[in-house]
Chain A
Amino acid sequence: MPLLEATGVKKIFGKLTALDGAALTVGENEFHGLIGPNGSGKSTLMKCIAGAEVPTQGKVSFINTDITAFTPTERARAGMSLKFQITSVLPTLTLYDNILLALQAQSSLFDLVFSRTRGLLHDQVMTMLTQFRLADRAFDAAAALSHGQQQWLEIAMALAGKPKLLLLDEPTGGMSLEERRVTGELLQPIKKHCSLVIVEHDLDFIRDICDRLTVLDQGKVLASGTVSEIQANKAVQEIYLRRA
């Protein structure tokens, strides 16, 4: 059984059909790239999977459960996490508190009120910060970070709850070449316990990191397969790779 299976997903905004029967299948510990030209529906499909949008039609299953109508909170509790396209770290909080906020999401109300889990979570907070090369800035406000570092912080926050699936919407947007390379390095180790769906314009980045790709065009799946299969696909080359 695949970890995530979205089938026949349709999303209509007024007169615009953003998704017209799109599908996506992601296995366990698989890095899956979602690519396609601008306006092909990548981000909309991502939002339908994440629960930020409700599909007009179609079904999304996650770990054998139909989650199409789940709220974001319910999806998170089922083991799904996401990083938004626009960074949404909490700028006034310290990096430490940003990660703690993500980690303590499942603590009981009693534990939160009496601050009973902070001590237990401390090591995990520092591990996440170290893993994402932010430990020396743990007690700075997140607003003081560079754009690239904010993206890393946000990925760290998204991973904090040990999700089974992480959705990344343009993780390298606005990053320098060096930062992109580091981002790839930072993501590699999570493969052991987590699958990934990435929407990304940087095709080199996608090629380096992903196992499989799905290509969307005008709300439909144009092709899906391993990276080399997609690279060899004539239709894809025509509509996408050449234009990019």
Chain B
Amino acid sequence: MTARGAMAARLAGHPTAVAVAKRIGVRLIAGVGVLWGAATLSFIALHVTAGDAALSTVAGQGANPTKELLDQVRRDFGLDQPLYRQYLDYLGRLLHGDLGQSYQQRIAVSRAITEQLGQTVQLAVSAAAVAVLLAIGAAVLTARRRPWRSIASGVELTLSATPTFVIGIVLLIVFSFTLKVLPVSGNDGPRALILPMLTLALPIGAVLAQVLRSELEEVLEQPFILTARSRGMRDTVVRVRHALRHALVQIVTMSGFVVGGLLGGAVITETLFVRQGVGQLMLSAVTTKDIPMVLGLVVFAAFVYVVVNLLVDITYTLIDPRLVTR
């Protein structure tokens, strides 16, 4: 046996630490680039769109602020500076982790986000878990099994094509108004979480199930599945132990879609169920043209994306060791 062979044997097929570190390093640099791009694009988008931030800040019901007052507001927020100065100041603050002050709430954007984050994380994480579990269950149990396959597929198609708020309303009508088993709205307790969580989870889970099933069906054609069954293993166990891991790569790849769906869906779900959270915060920030708040939320969302994608990349190498050692 050669020295190389001996080393390969000792590592026994696991990716080398150097190779993994290199992958992560490259991804980190790319992630910083993504954050900068998100900050810049949303900055441009917010400043070129119509509307006067100063006016919308002081304009309450029926208010008619004087020019002096508006100028005062502009000076306070630095809105009188040329756009490139505002941009550079903004980037400079961002480098120090400072997301700025909300025009409307007059508190630090980061504080506003952290205050609301807990509720949204609770909603999003539970919804994601339910979506993935539903998808795995539906796909493993129905792949290549007629007639269940067509039934499940039809339900999934309907769910993924239905707008989130419709699903929410249907759930509300059934469980809150008719059966009266779950609360209509609010943030208190796990019972209030169930309907918003399902509203958010069902359409995402439906898409994941479709993808996962078609992956599974492809994997089930592979000879190693036949080998596993010829050892006397139950079909369902073969699916879970051998096929699922191959198909999960696809789900991991779709994490970006899931995170996007959760963030977007949170806005609608939190509004519909009148829950506090980042989604509500985003909605009110956009309608009142609270520029620092919107920018802060966008950068925050981009940060979540980058972190998730980094985790996805690490997960790949855990699921499929061939990706590094090949």
Whether chains A and B associate is: no
List B residues at the A interface (Cβ < 8 Å).
Answer: none
